[in-house]
Structure 1
């Protein structure tokens, strides 16, 4: 096998791994969106501070909107691959 063919094979395997990881994250995000969508109106939602174990009270509708936007961005990124 030539060096160029080996590089192409390694690149394809790396791309495949990235797609699998992105698909896994998309599935997780879909679950988050579904869970937030099915909450009762009076339920409290907390978001975690990045790189910390601290949670803050958040607005349910704003959190749902940002999660949907993040899901859409992930789907677009997957299509661009």
Structure 2
């Protein structure tokens, strides 16, 4: 029975670590959304190609919408935990 308790403790610690990491990512995403929201309309926005150091010019409003969706998905995942 003590091994079950230990497994539950390990599971809880892992879940707590995941929640903390997700909270951190949500805070980072909130900063990104705020920064994009406060940009002037004529400012250029670049997005980074995955697994690369290459950046591409992107539409500010599309990038903002994408970042908001990503943040909403992370918040939903956090609530589901």
- Is this a same-fold pair by TM over 0.5? yes
How far residue 28 of structure 1 moved from its aligned partner, in angstroms, is 0.1
Q: How does 1:10-49 map to 2 (within 5 A)?
A: 10-49=10-49
Q: Which residue of 2 aligns with 1:53?
A: 53
Distance 1:79 1:17 in 2: 15
Structure 2, unmatched stretches of 5+, are: none
Q: Provide runs of 4+ in structure 1 moved above 3 Å.
A: none
Distance in 1, Cα, partners of 2:2 & 2:78: 30
TM-score, normalised to structure 2's length? 0.99
What RMSD in Å do the two structures reach over aligned CA positions?
A: 0.8
